[in-house]
Structure 1
Amino acid sequence: MARVAKRVAKKRKATAKRPTAKRTATAAKTVDPAVTKAEAKLEKLQKDLAAHKKKVEDARKKAATAKAKAASTKRAAAKRSAKSATNAVTKANERAKAARSKVADARVELAKAKAMASARAAAQAAEAKVAELRERLSDRASKDLETAKQAFEQRWKKARAKADERKVKAAKKKAATKAKVAEKKAKTKVNQVERKASAKAKTKTRRKTSAKRTATRKSSATTTRKASPARKTSAKRVGRPRKKSS
């Protein structure tokens, strides 16, 4: 009996000294591929926009030089050169506007990608917490199991496994709720970004339409002023001749 007691005591000491497995560190945050792609696209478009801005500046300098030269001489070639340079400025401005529009669209896409990546990260974090809880419960169960008596080992394992599964299910439910909330927030943010972008686009369209109407009115007024002297002259010619005084 004494030998059996010594063996049980040694077994318990060995079990107590057994090192516990270290918890695995959480994986480093990885950059979402969609966000990386959107950022790369935005960076490229911003470079293109910078190049277009430089072209506009160069075109303006050339136009200013050509206008100054045309003003100092009466040559038709100089005037044509000035007009061509002015047209080049207009074209460069149009290309720059198109580049700005692309940059704005790319920023909207990036905001959407970041929102969705945030939702995915929240879901992954919730899953990691569930896994960590499962591991924690497993470690605790192993420690408690070592102290349990052998006679009740099987019943204890079943009861503990059921209890742990209930806890895991509850944690999963909680994690799913958090993930849904994060997804809802992400969708709300995406909708806000889209509404802002749509509002900006509508404002730009209204400004362009207003500018076109103003230009049309000015052009019509100029044409009317030019045509009015001819009408007055023709009116004088058509009238009845004056009677000669006797």
Structure 2
Amino acid sequence: MAAKKKSTTKKAAAKVSPIAKLEAELSKLKDQLEKARDKQEKDAAKVADKLAKDAAKADDKAKKAAAKVKTIRAKKKTPAQQNQLKTARAAASTAKKAADNAKAAAKDAKEQLATIKSENKLAAKVAKAVAKEEAAVAKKLAAEAKKQAAAEAKKAAAAAKKKAAADKKKAAAAAKKKAAADKKKAAAAKKKAAAAAKKAKAKAAAAAKKAKAKAKKATAKKKPGRPKKAATKTAAKKSPGRPKKAATKTAAKKSPGRPKKAATKKAAARRGRPPKAK
């Protein structure tokens, strides 16, 4: 049972594996893209922040250089001070250029960060719309699959019902055929038994007839008037004319001519009124 279930699961997995694999890869790519966008935005924010700080420092440095030039210019113009002023002016100019460059870089970084944020926001919006569309498509596909499965199940049930009816009809026909064959066989056996009985009866009648004829023939062969030997022998053994002693004794004991008392009494009791029922 477990092996069968495992095999079914494997078949199902093999059936949906390409779609499931593509969906898994797509989901993975979406996650990677989202993480990359978040990282890009964070990195851009860090760069913009650093450049803004650098620009602020450069601007502060340029201001300090300009203040130094102003201070040196206010002093007496000696050759040494002139050289110092020249150096301070060059440093102030360099600091100003650096500050301008830093400001420009910070501005670019800020604009880039804004662009990235806008793009990420739009991408998130698009991803949300795509996910919604995917969900709708998946729902539609699931409904279609369910409908198809129901139709297939209905078709299979109808086929099974049709097959069952055909099998039932076939079985009934086979049973009917078998019953008819059995009936025919029984009738043939009965007929055969009747024929055998008739034959046996005829044979017995013929044997009886033959025996009767034989007995008649045997009777016709004997000589008439001659007694049987066994009867003659028995008659010769007996002593005729002498009565049995027991018979003579019994006859002498009886008193002839007098009726029995019990018989007379019974005859008297029967006359007159019948006895009451108990």
Q: TM-score range by the shorter chain?
A: 0.3 to 0.5
For CA contacts below 8 A with separation 6 or more, give which structure has more relative contact order.
1
Structure possessing the higher radius of gyration over alpha carbons: 2
Name the TM-score, length of structure 1 as normaliser.
0.43
